[in-house]
């Protein structure tokens, strides 16, 4: 790749990938903070509709371990979350912008009048600039899509979908509960109504190697999506995956160097227009069984950034997709 082409990547700063932080600063002029909200939802994988155990890796918080209490109103949860980041905010109140993120469990799995109430309460908060909703692709009926389209006319709406993997054997092991065509259909329906889609992919799943992961990434890259979260598999106490690990059925997890290699390879395959919302994560330390190195999130991020510089590589270096913009 020519020097001029590499220099154009400097717009991303020193990270060499299209980060969410960069994108928000371009649109809003400053950092935008994501605040986790709890709508008190359940999940068809937990209430007996599909299963009663949840996904094999899912903790009691349903991936919302850092969210507020569902006993509080949405406005109160937002105000509580703002206090938690108050020390990071500038003195200019115009710089206080937030993404309202409904995170725990399946956040379109509820009565329509209730969804209407909590989503409108969140999106109408004056400091919220984006509404982000984590859900399942099999919980996006026509009534939900109609509500999302209306909300999207007020402020941008993002839908986060937990694909995790395209490999059906792994998906069954995870108890994901839906086949790949359901995900594909949901993405295209959301795209047709102008909703941004963020896809979650887990790296380090038992039985999957780097080639399997890149097959998932290449599939994601071919879809009309706007964002990706790359998530290390955290093995947590109190989950079925945790029990398997403690009983010796998962003898190995990714090392830090292996994970860095996986992440960088994924970034190289992802198109430049896709926003990278996450390249690692930090599970609750009180619950984390493995990999223990993941608890030092700052170290992991720094090593990824440094290794990308050393390899002189960047997001999209090996992108061969024919994606829809």
The per-residue pLDDT for 6 is 45
Report pLDDT digits (tens) over 290-301.
999 999 999 999
CA distance readout (Å), 138 to 50, 135, 179, 180, 277? 11, 9, 10, 11, 23
Look up tokens 């061969």; give the residue: 320
Contact 149, 191 (CB under 8 A): no
DSSP state of 95: G
Nearest one of 127, 129, 186, 192 to 160, comparing CA atoms? 186
- Give the helix ranges, DSSP H, for the chain: 3-8, 20-28, 74-84, 112-123, 142-152, 168-174, 180-192, 210-221, 240-246, 256-269, 297-311
- pTM for this entry: 0.92
- Rounded to an integer, what distance in angstroms lies between the CA atom of residue 262 and that of residue 325? 26
Cβ atoms of 324 and 31 within 8 Å: the answer is no
In a domain, 316, yes or no: no
Mean pLDDT of 32-46: 94
Find where tokens 């995900």 sit.
183
Q: 205 — phi, psi (to 5°)?
A: -65, 140
Residue 324 lies in a domain: no
Q: How confident is the model at residue 11 (pLDDT cuts 50, 70, 90)?
A: low
> For a pLDDT cut of 70, what percent of the chain falls above it?
91
| Tally of structural domains, the chain | 1
Q: Mind spelling out the 3-state secondary structure of 220-277?
A: HHCCCCCEEEEEECCEECCCHHHHHHHCCCCCCCCCHHHHHHHHHHHHHHCCCCCEEE
Do the domain assignments include residue 26?
Answer: yes
What is the average pLDDT score of the chain? 91
Contact 141, 118 (CB under 8 A): no
Does position 8 have pLDDT exceeding 50, yes or no?
A: no
Q: Per the domain annotation, does 175 fall within a domain?
A: yes
Mean pLDDT value of segment 164-179: 96
φ, ψ (nearest 5 deg) of residue 236: -115, 145
Domain containing 153 equals: 3-311
pLDDT band at 35 (very low <50, low <70, confident <90, very high): very high
Q: What CATH number does the domain containing 246 carry? A: 3.20.20
């Amino acid at each position: 790749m020519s020097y001029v082409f590499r220099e154009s990547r400097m717009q991303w700063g020193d990270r060499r990938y299209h980060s969410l932080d960069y994108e928000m600063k371009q649109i809003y002029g400053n950092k935008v903070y994501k605040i986790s909200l709890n709508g008190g939802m359940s999940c068809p994988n937990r209430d007996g509709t599909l299963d009663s155990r949840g996904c094999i890796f899912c903790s009691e918080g349903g991936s919302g371990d850092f969210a507020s209490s569902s006993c509080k109103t949405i406005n109160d949860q937002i105000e509580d979350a703002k206090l938690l980041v108050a020390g990071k905010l500038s003195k200019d109140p115009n710089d206080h912008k937030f993404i309202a993120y409904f995170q725990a469990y399946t956040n379109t799995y509820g009565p329509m009048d209730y969804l209407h109430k909590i989503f409108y309460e969140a999106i109408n908060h004056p400091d919220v600039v984006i509404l982000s909703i984590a859900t399942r692709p099999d919980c996006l009926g026509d009534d939900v899509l109609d509500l999302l389209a209306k909300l999207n006319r007020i402020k941008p709406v993002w839908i986060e979908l937990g694909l995790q993997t395209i490999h059906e054997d792994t998906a069954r092991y995870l108890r994901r509960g839906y086949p790949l065509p359901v995900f594909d259909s949901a993405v295209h329906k959301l795209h047709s109504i102008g909703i941004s889609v963020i896809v979650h992919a887990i790296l380090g799943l038992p039985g999957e190697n780097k080639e399997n992961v890149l097959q998932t990434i290449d599939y994601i890259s071919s879809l009309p999506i706007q964002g990706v979260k790359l998530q290390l598999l955290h093995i947590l106490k109190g989950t079925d995956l945790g029990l398997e690990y403690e009983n010796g059925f998962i003898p190995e997890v990714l090392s830090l160097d292996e994970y860095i290699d996986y992440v960088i390879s994924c970034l190289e395959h992802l198109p430049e227009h896709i926003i990278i919302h996450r390249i690692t994560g930090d599970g609750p330390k009180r619950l984390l069984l493995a990999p223990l190195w993941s608890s030092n999130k700052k170290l992991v991020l720094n090593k990824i950034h440094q290794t990308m510089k050393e390899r002189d590589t960047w997001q999209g270096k090996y992108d061969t997709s024919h994606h829809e913009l």
